Structure 1
């Protein structure tokens, strides 16, 4: 433990000379600040206004002895470690002191240099142990918060955001907090809310809700710097400060954390006025909770899109039903009739047990929609190859493209433009064919087998005339038989208005989004139930692992317990554990299981951990899928048949201490709740790594 981490200790003794020499040794040789008092009565009075990291007390003192002082101290200040000085041959005092909560004892009368060295060591050990135990309790509470947050994910969004704000304050032991949404493209902060305490104390009239990021003071620095900013002494001069407005809450300490969605900052969370200094564990807690909140916010937005899509589907069905008779006979204009009911194959209930879209399901869905809407459809690969069979006749384009080079060129040009638009904007595109006058449309579709594709809708009439198709047939000098065949096909196409056609394209696009994410919707309640069921078991495992590590005297046991627990709670089947060597600035393998020695050797040579070191150093975990990896240096992963892995940093407030790596030969990803458990474990075992180092 570094010396500056000790704030101050209190030493009580009725011998002034011993007080003076002990203070001199501890402060000058061991860099431990010492406050001295001549009696327990003076010490207790001092403790009513001041805080200390540890108390040392002599045993034999007038009026009140060391044991009596110990009992009162533990009753009033149970979290302050206590060391008692005793004379030689006073074993009964030692036993009584330990039974009443003393952390250590020191026997007087030894050689001064070695005695002060022992005292310094026990002071640091006792304080570190206290901080480790407090951190274990705090991390368990934080883990409970994350699990509770997961269980609340179906609550209304406002109550969930309010809960996240208050838990940020509680879990960082702050008094005030806030969070805002960030619009980087507009350089704008939109404040969601300040905590209740902040609003109660604030005396500013007409509080603004929108702020220009370049004009904000120190609280906007995390966005400008794109990293969390800790300010543990707000009174110090800082170029980022622009002053607090009159009536603003007084700020002593501040922590601001930007929340990312990929490379984009989407939220800013802040807390203030923690009694002790903010550290990396506070950053990790806020980041975990707010990232979870952002994922839920995105999910709520997604569900709104689903509802919009359903409404548009109802509107289109209503429009179709009102425009066309619902029977099996042809209408007067010769167009085929269309059912007013969506076939069972395309209702969302029918997809409730589907894990994701694949080509077979896409073909079935495409055929059903094509039949209902009366238009030709096909799904193409990113380079334009058909992935599904064409639904309904596409023979106009096929006949023209086969017989006339000009028609094929026009069709190809439209397709290239559509592909470019989708690759660039990832949004639907509609166009009118220059050759036929028919409307076409395309939109992106996600397919696990091929990563991505393009759904095309072809040959939809938006007018009843033949002028454009006749003009094209004359321009290519089509023969009478071909012209008749194409006109027959043309007359058979469904007629929609241009706005109706665009609605159809948007509808099927939304429907594709809905179905491609149906796995998350289907499994959410099951996952929540499983999470609640396993919560107490997992929490117990984490606490048990943390306590075992703190009590262990064996380095090998510390590494073994950590790795076994990580694999157990994550559902993985193999892993490795690394410790950080500050001198060499490298991660070194300390323990592994479930993989071959050859694989470990190859991974060390390829520098897997060091490759991600900058990310790990920031406290960010890495989770990777290894499917179809063809990257250089990844051959060993393919040979070992690793499907997925995660790298979780072990971060202590004094810096990075190591990392946990878990992986699986069968699972293709690490579930979100398992990631939370792994990161909670990493936080809990950090004190054990300090002890080992």
Structure 2
């Protein structure tokens, strides 16, 4: 037992129960208490139902990344992701999530323990040992985020892409206590923006500016475009004081503060989601919440666009088939 491990509990989240039994064994031999769960959903439930977790070892799959975002939206904990290797797909999943390292499977006990000890040291050095909010409030927020995701998936089955994205913005602005929300697709060259939509409240109460469906260059975007230019989430909590901000178009919502996150796929930015005008400052927890919904929106958008493209192809094939039959009859 080491001083670093004394009295500390690690939550091990790995969907494959037999993937590497050496991990919990090595941690226990080093003096850590280990609690094992096998689904991301169980990880969320356990974390919000217990106060004994000091670090999370999380499978780096898409569901694991989403669970980490939900937990970190309300809890302050070090997270280490477990991966089979480091590639663009893995990095896309966990990009933007506060993490304290990646452990590659089967790298050995020495590297595993070194990763855990380093994570604890960094966590303490960052001064993030703050008291968590009340357990009831945290769990309610977690439930709200998960239920919102389920609603969006169900809503997407019978609504258009534009309607789904607007619904997503409505959900994320509600949970992040923001008054405005917007979503842009980013061109393959990462230099062009395509305004896809606003939240319902933004359109009704705040913004009469034209622009939906328009294209323009990233270099023309205001400071919110820094999310693309700097390839990271950006927070501006005092928008009016920013020296390099650009003027807003006529009819645009006034902005007091904003948070914008990029969405990555294959190491490229494919979209951005932004919220604004929260009454209080945006924080790192808000980044996790908005990033979670940004990823959900992209996954649904990709599915919708794929389905719509397939339906269009089937329509064209049917037209060709019907035309050919008519020609044969004639």
| TM-score, structure 1 normalization | 0.28
Instruction: Tell me the residue number matched to 1:525.
Output: 133
Deviations 1:547-589 (A, max 9, x none): 433x256232132122112212211111111112226741211
Aligned-pair distance for 1:286? 7.2
Q: Decide whether aligned partners of structure 1 residues 270 and 575 sit closer, same or farther in structure 2, where only a CA change above 3 A counts.
A: closer
Aligned-pair distance for 1:625? 0.9
Instruction: Tell me the residue number matched to 1:567.
Output: 173
Instruction: Tell me the residue number matched to 1:597.
Output: 208
Deviations 1:216-256 (A, max 9, x none): xxxxxxxxxxxxxxxxxxxxxxxxxxxxxxxxxxxxxxxxx
Instruction: Tell me the residue number matched to 1:542.
Output: 149
1:613 has 2:228 as partner = yes
Q: Decide whether aligned partners of structure 1 residues 537 and 300 sit closer, same or farther in structure 2, where only a CA change above 3 A counts.
A: same
Match of 2:185 among 579, 584, 592: 579
1:290 has 2:184 as partner = no
Instruction: Tell me the residue number matched to 2:25.
Output: none
**SS of aligned partner of 2:149:** helix
Instruction: Tell me the residue number matched to 2:256.
Output: 643
Aligned-pair distance for 1:636? 3.8
Q: Decide whether aligned partners of structure 1 residues 283 and 611 sit closer, same or farther in structure 2, where only a CA change above 3 A counts.
A: closer
CA contact (8 A) 1:623 1:645 kept: yes
The CA distance in 2 between the partners of 1:587 and 1:271, in whole Å, is 34
CA contact (8 A) 1:657 1:689 kept: no
The CA distance in 1 between the partners of 2:95 and 2:263, in whole Å, is 17
CA contact (8 A) 2:190 2:228 kept: no
Deviations 1:12-46 (A, max 9, x none): xxxxxxxxxxxxxxxxxxxxxxxxxxxxxxxxxxx
The CA distance in 2 between the partners of 1:590 and 1:579, in whole Å, is 7
Q: Decide whether aligned partners of structure 1 residues 625 and 565 sit closer, same or farther in structure 2, where only a CA change above 3 A counts.
A: same
Alpha-carbon RMSD? 4.3
CA contact (8 A) 1:567 1:573 kept: yes
Aligned-pair distance for 1:296? 8.8
Instruction: Tell me the residue number matched to 2:54.
Output: 160
The CA distance in 2 between the partners of 1:561 and 1:172, in whole Å, is 21
Aligned-pair distance for 1:168? 3.6
Instruction: Tell me the residue number matched to 2:294.
Output: 682
The CA distance in 1 between the partners of 2:126 and 2:268, in whole Å, is 37
Q: How many pairs are equivalent?
A: 224
The CA distance in 1 between the partners of 2:99 and 2:173, in whole Å, is 26
Aligned-pair distance for 1:615? 3.2
Deviations 1:608-666 (A, max 9, x none): 354431433xxx322221255141335549x95423211122334584331111111x5
The structure with the larger Rg is 1
Mapping for residues 237-252 of structure 1, pairs under 5 Å: none
CA contact (8 A) 1:269 1:286 kept: no
Instruction: Tell me the residue number matched to 1:455.
Output: none
Instruction: Tell me the residue number matched to 2:18.
Output: none
CA contact (8 A) 1:621 1:647 kept: yes
Instruction: Tell me the residue number matched to 1:396.
Output: none
The CA distance in 2 between the partners of 1:146 and 1:285, in whole Å, is 17
Aligned-pair distance for 1:270? 6.7
Aligned-pair distance for 1:668? 2.7
| TM-score, structure 2 normalization | 0.53
The CA distance in 2 between the partners of 1:643 and 1:160, in whole Å, is 36
The CA distance in 2 between the partners of 1:268 and 1:583, in whole Å, is 33
Instruction: Tell me the residue number matched to 1:77.
Output: none
Q: Decide whether aligned partners of structure 1 residues 585 and 541 sit closer, same or farther in structure 2, where only a CA change above 3 A counts.
A: same
Structure 2: state its 5+ residue gaps.
1-38, 65-77, 102-118, 307-330
**SS of aligned partner of 2:263:** strand
The CA distance in 1 between the partners of 2:100 and 2:263, in whole Å, is 19
Structure 1: state its 5+ residue gaps.
1-140, 174-266, 304-519
The CA distance in 1 between the partners of 2:62 and 2:239, in whole Å, is 38
Deviations 1:186-241 (A, max 9, x none): xxxxxxxxxxxxxxxxxxxxxxxxxxxxxxxxxxxxxxxxxxxxxxxxxxxxxxxx
The CA distance in 1 between the partners of 2:263 and 2:41, in whole Å, is 16
**SS of aligned partner of 2:152:** helix
Instruction: Tell me the residue number matched to 1:358.
Output: none
Flag as ranges the 4+ runs of structure 1 deviating above 6 A: 170-173, 292-296
